[in-house]
Structure 1
Amino acid sequence: MVNKTTKEHGGHEVTVTSSITTTVAPALPLQEHRLPLSNLDLLLPPLDVSVFFCYLHPAPTAAALKEALAKALVAYYPLAGEVAANGDGEPELLCSGHGVDFTEASAGGTELRELRLGVVDEGVEKMVPAKKAGVMAVQVTKFRCGGAVVGCTFDHRVCDAYSFNMFLLAWAAAARGSTAPTAPSFRRSIVAPRDPPPRAPSTETLIDRLFSPRSAAPPPPAAAAACAVNRIYRIAAADIATLKASAGPGRTKMEAFTAHLWQLCSRAASPLQRSCCMGVVVDGRTRMFPDGAMKAYFGNVLTIPYGVIGSDDLGRMALADVAEDVHRWVAEAATGEHFRGLVDWVEALRPKPAAARAYLGGTGGNEAMACIVSSGMSFPAGKADFGTGLPAFASYHFPWPAGAGYVMPMPSARGDGDWVVYVHVAPEMAKVMEEEPTVFQALGSNYVFG
């Protein structure tokens, strides 16, 4: 039995007691085998990502969740395995069917409505499991009111958010007794390198600008990562629309949001940070196969283009000009040819690992304030019904160890067009976000639970 205590503003203490941890294996036996990680998977360092869902009474029970999880793991068997090294020292999946660690916990006398979800460091992090082994872990925390928080943590090397969303929908469908969505595809040949790889200097130049061998890059600034804060904000649908209009014709909501965030970085940058680096995570599924051939592909299909602008110049620019710059370098990387070239580039580099330069400030290096934006617009908050109804709130949780900030907007579980934004940034950046008169708003209990 493990106690995790956290103190919230106002003096309220939340004690989470882990009563039991069991292992949930796939409902059907699996012959043990190894599944290679793709070249695009190999670009990811060993990072864990978490998601959590808050359910008011009646919440799904641990027993129902475990039974449905066992069923879902039959199709999503890599999540029940572990990451092991191959003969070259590269990570790969050992599909053993060992299972997923499932922890049942209690928040004692705390009501779910008492959670300060916006101040992640004061409570939410106790509701997601720390993955100790395997690929995935689950924790269900029950509250006095009959509500519950369902938290999941997974190894980012195995899959991206798009893939894990597929699993979440299959798990929820199994809990409801509904027909499972389309089965996942683990066909690595769809992202295999070309033989021989074509010579394309322009593509190689772009890849060399966005990625580098890990040994050639300095380690991430651990001190900056250690002092970062985790917050969740909300953005009203009307403010999103205003940002989009200010960004100019033809710009998307995400481009407008990224441009706005980039300009906020210029206000938060220290005198030593002479430039601001903004990166955007781009999914390559529809870029590589516009016909939908990768719709069910399970794995990582990501690249991270970025831009660097001097802090002073960035602060003086119009939002439309910043958004135009975001559009330019995102569009440059959002092509099938770029992703195929990236697969070839990793193949030529193996077994040496590589990393995205955006994590390290891009061309601005250590003198740049760096931030990464990843769209969570496909997050299935409005579909995560495990048989007792939709969640009142849901979010990602990703306090990664890199020095760059990480920001992930996603649709509010209310389904009204608002956004929920998970933020892992330096305290100075959080202060700037909270002091601006519009856009980022505090996430209050009344907004979440009504």
Structure 2
Amino acid sequence: MLNTFLSIKNMGFEDSFTVNMTDKIVVCAHEPCKDHWLPFTNFDLLVPPFDVGSTFFYKKPSNGRGFLDIVDTLKESLSRTLTLYPPMAGEIAWNGAVLENQIHCNNQGVDFIEAVADVELKELNLYNPDECIEGKLMPKKLLRGVLAIQVTKLKCEGIVIGVMVDHRMVDGYSANMFISSWADMTRSKASSMIPSFGRSYLTPRSPIVYSPLIDNVFAPFQPESNHDNDLCKEDDQYILVNRIYYVKGEQLKMLQSLASKNGCRTSKLVAFTSFLWKEVALSMEDSGKNNETCNVVVTVDGRRRLSEGEGKEKERLMASYFGNVLSMPYGSKKPKELKEMTLSNVAIEVLEFLKTATTKEHFLDIIDWVEKQKPQPLISKAFAGKDMSFSISAGQRFETMDKIDFGWGKLAFGSCHAPAERKDCFVMTMGSPINNEDWVVYAHMPKKHMEYIETHDGHVIKPLNADYLNI
């Protein structure tokens, strides 16, 4: 047993607690595949090299199983899951044969940490992940490989599973696929989905051809012009913080109604995006930043679109494809412009820029455009400058709240997690474990803007708490 102290106490914080690491091992694939290299696709090359996390919270196991027994089962099932997902047991390394970074499927394994925390599930301030998750219930920045996992026993015998992965390996869809497979393998010894790693259907066309509109979505990455949030340097109020909220179903319907126009009902995601874009702009205006620009990005999954008209086999392959397949269209407005617009007019702007990413041709254009730009690094154009930019991703269709069942009880709460060193602003909307009509919203945003929204829109967006989650 290592008895390594993982975190310091949160001085002055109500649910101050410590976490002790009790063991750390490397879990490898049970049946490793032949050592091989897997190239990044052109969609992977649009993702900056940072880590993303997920956390899963469970009450005391309903089947009476002890923590050590559960951990042993998780290790064994993880080993079998890695057999299905060889890249997750590998590393990103330089392939001298082709002179580029690739995924080396070498079964070097995954860091697996066991820990114990002196806090009960109901005592965790989930509204503030910077205090209760960062550096405590989540593995720290990856030091090896592309995946790390921490399983923590709480004082109430509840269990928290923290998963950290290199974003160049996965988008939200793929991360959910891996976690769901691991849960399936733990509970029933078989995965409900077999992942696909084929690259042939994501290769450039010949000859390369793309619409110039792609230049309005992505851009070459210039470190000196990276927005790296100059805001943070001028005032502690603009440091990036992690916050988790919930939005009741009736509030989402209210936003949807306000964002709809002339009998044309917009989606809840478009309505919420419009609401948040306008409120961030109002916060900027409140701070005297009228002449700056506010950008909102909406991530769009291309799996279904790329398989359009290609038959059932292509649909199946794309539905099980493991990797990144995202576009990032965005809108750009001055705070004053957004302030003077009704929510329905803001929604029209959102729908207008989203139209660029709704076709198969758009995603084929991305593949070709990236091929033309190689080998220079690329980035979403919204994040290429110094403007206030944030992205919104929809996680409602992921299985986080419904099916991440490892066999000892229903998930009490699950969320994404942004490591402290991540400098881009983003928001993830997710389903609620309490009510199918509600949302849980994760925000990695400037403190100033979140405090403004909490103050002015507290009836819409509320800090997540144990009472809401019934824990």
TM-score (norm 1): 0.93
In the alignment, which residue of structure 2 is the partner of 1:344?
A: 368
Q: 1:151 to 1:400 in 2, by over 3 A?
A: same
Shift of 1:425: 0.6
Q: Do the aligned residues in 1 keep the contact of 2:305 with 2:358 (CA within 8 Å)?
A: yes
Amino acid paired to 2:406: F
Equivalent residues of 1:64, 1:175 under 8 A apart = yes
Which residue in 1 is equivalent to 2:244? Answer: 232
1:247 Cα deviation after fit: 1.1
**In structure 1, what is the Cα distance between the partners aligned to 2:122 and 2:85?**
33
Aligned pairs, how many? 440
Number of the residue aligned with 2:170: 159
**Counterpart position of 1:221:** 228
> Matched residues in 2 for 1:218 and 1:400: separation?
21
| C-alpha displacement of 1:182 | 2.3
Q: 1:35·1:94 contact (CA, 8 Å) conserved in 2?
A: yes
Q: Secondary structure at the match of 1:258?
A: helix
Equivalent residue number for residue 236 of structure 2 = none
Instruction: Say which of 459, 463, 469 aligns to 1:438.
Output: 459
1:129-182 CA-partner distances (Å, limit 9, x unpaired): 122110100001111111011010111101111011111111111111253112
Q: Which runs of 5+ in 2 are unaligned?
A: 234-238
Work out whether 1:98 is the aligned partner of 2:108.
Answer: yes
What residue in structure 1 maps to residue 49 of structure 2?
46
Call closer, same or farther: CA 1:415–1:22 in 2, change over 3 Å: farther
Give yes or no for contact 2:149–2:163 (8 Å, CA) kept in 1. yes
- Equivalent residues in 2 for 1:113-152 (5 A)? 113-125=122-134, 126-130=136-140, 131-152=142-163
CA distance in 2 between partners of 1:9 and 1:119 (Å): 14
Kept in 1, the 8 Å contact 2:127–2:465? The answer is yes
287-296 vs 274-283, greater mean Cα deviation: 287-296
Change (3 A) 1:225 1:39: farther
Matched, 1:79 2:91: no
Shift in alpha-carbon separation, 1:377–1:89, aligned structure 2, 3 A: farther
CA contact (8 A) 1:225 1:404 kept: no
Match 2:26 to one of 11, 23, 28: 23
Partner residue in 2 for 1:298: 322
User: CA 1:332 to 1:158, structure 2 compared with 1: closer, same or farther past 3 Å?
Assistant: same
Residues 92 and 101, structure 2, Cα contact 8 Å, conserved in 1: yes
Counterpart secondary structure, 2:434: coil
Partner Cα distance (1:416, 1:83) in 2: 39
Runs of 4+ in 1 over 3 A off after TM superposition: 8-12, 87-90, 222-226, 399-404
State the SS of the aligned residue for 2:145: coil
- Whether 2:214 is the aligned partner of 1:207: answer yes
Q: CA RMSD in A?
A: 1.9
Asked whether the 8 Å contact 2:280–2:453 carries over to 1, the reply is no
Q: Is the 8 A contact 2:56 2:161 kept in 1?
A: yes
Instruction: State the alpha-carbon separation in 2 of the partners of residues 10 and 212 from structure 1.
Output: 42
Correspondence for 1:180 among 191, 194, 197 = 191
How far apart are 1:371 and its partner, in Å?
1.3
Distance verdict in 2 for CA 1:402–1:167, change over 3 Å: closer
59-68 or 121-130: which moved more? Answer: 59-68
Which amino acid in structure 2 is aligned with residue 19 of structure 1? T
Question: What's 1:261 paired with?
Answer: 276
Structure 1 residue 388: deviation in Å? 0.6
Amino acid of the residue matched to residue 327 of structure 1? L
Question: Between the two proteins, what is the percent identity of the paired residues?
Answer: 37
Quote the offset at 1:42 in angstroms. Answer: 0.8
